[in-house]
Amino acid sequence: MTGFSLRAKGDNFDGDQLKSAVDYAHAHGKKAYVTVNVFLHNRDLHPLAHHIEHIRGINPDGVIVSDPGAFDAVSEAVPELPIHISTQANITNWRSARFYERIGAKRLVLARELSIDEIRDIRNHVSIELECFVHGAICISYSGRCYISAFLTNRSANSGLCTNSCRWSYTLMEEKRPGEHFPVYEDDRGTYVMSSRDLCMVEHLDKLYAAGVDSFKLEGRVKGVNYLASVVKVYREAIDTLVSGRDYVVDNRWLEELSSVSNRGFTTGMYLGRHPHAHYNHDEQEMYKGMHNILGVVRSTRDGWAEVYLKGKLTVGDSVVFLSPALQGSAITLRQMNDVFGNPIDSAKNEDTVVIPVVEGVSKNDLLRKK
């Protein structure tokens, strides 16, 4: 929510929207958590009290905090509300985990800097729920406690205003040789010495599960619907496979799908051991990858046809994919397309509504993408 999460640049919920979002999640049998994970200053405490009163009235399934002051304020005002400890709290050992368990936390989102063996050791000392990140961007600093952005731009990452300064291009210059740049970079613009690849643990969820992790977390705020739909679909299928009782076998489709949306290349972070050169991008060409672009959203279906609102140009003959919970995402060639009046057309543009033939299983709100 605006003002108290670490995504100040995002299109955050206001009070009424937050209640609607929680109600929507509950209506679909899902849980909704509110983030209150900024690092608080004295000036924040009074508005925080009002914010907590609002949270009380919308009935979320819990709040996620990092600041002990926020924990104290929430537990005092709404003692029945479950509190999760954010990864920003940097829990890297079992004594820290036991401390939060003793004061009443419900779940711990562990620091990304842990190995699987360290997670297993924490599990052996506590019974509290453990959660860990398995996919998405990785901060250069300890689970996000970074001052690079604040130093360079006066915009603090710890207040949700990160400018992603660690993704910028940098060169090395010796102070007594101004203007003389040392050749430590791979291209004329510099090297991304601090820019991490994205975390991807879909191939190793079974190891985390065996170590005692109760919940897997996807980094997804301030991401587009195409990215979210793809990543959530993959990890939903992976988790279903994991808990099915069958051997955990990674489906190559999962890796293909994850690679098809925006990413910086992948790493397993520190979970499988510390291998620094495997974590960072040193080539601008490796910064952002991804092939699939969203073309439209299905508004309705009937008798083997779908009405699609377009977000890009679509032409008969295009190879397209429907991203749907019910489908595997195989590409098909578009052979026919009509306008909303039933007239055949060869192409359509952004913001047009078209009617196209679809396979069984396509439903409202599914995404149409170009292969």
DSSP reduced 3-state for 96: helix
Is the per-residue pLDDT at 190 higher than 60? no
Using alpha carbons, select from 77, 81, 99 the residue that is nearest to residue 89. Answer: 99
Q: Which residues pair with 153 in a beta bridge?
A: none
User: Contact at 8 Å (CB) between 114 and 174?
Assistant: no
Check pLDDT > 90 for residue 109.
yes
What tokens does 304 get? 């083997």
Cα–Cα distance for residue pair 307/296, rounded to 1 Å: 10
The pLDDT value recorded for residue 281 is 56
Check residue 264 and give its pLDDT: 84
pLDDT of residue 222: 74
Q: Please give the model's pTM, rounded to 2 decimal places.
A: 0.80
* Interatomic CA distance for residues 58 and 264, integer angstroms: 37
Residue 119 has pLDDT above 70, yes or no: yes
**Residue 131 to residue 86: CA distance in whole angstroms:** 10
* Topology classification of domain 15-279: TIM Barrel (3.20.20)
> Given its phi and psi angles, is residue 225 left (phi above 0), alpha (psi -120 to 50 degrees) or beta?
alpha
Tell me whether residue 77 is exposed, middle or buried, using C-beta atoms within 10 angstroms of its C-beta: 0 to 12, 13 to 18, 19 or more: middle
CATH superfamily of 294-370: Translation factors (2.40.30.10)
The residue with greater pLDDT, 227 or 290, is 227
pLDDT band at 280 (very low <50, low <70, confident <90, very high): low
Q: Please check whether residue 134 is in contact with residue 266, taking contact to mean a CB–CB distance below 8 angstroms.
A: no
Calculate mean pLDDT across residues 96-118.
97
In the chain, the percentage of residues whose pLDDT exceeds 70 is: 80
pLDDT of 180 reads: 66
pLDDT at 282: 47
Place of tokens 């004329």: 188
| Inter-CA distances, 360 with 9, 306, 357, Å | 39, 11, 10
> Domain extents for the chain?
15-279, 294-370
Query: CA-CA distance, 114 to 111, in Å (whole number)?
Result: 6
pLDDT beyond 60 at 309:
yes
Give the mean model confidence (pLDDT) for residues 220-225.
80
Q: What is the CA radius of gyration of the chain?
A: 23
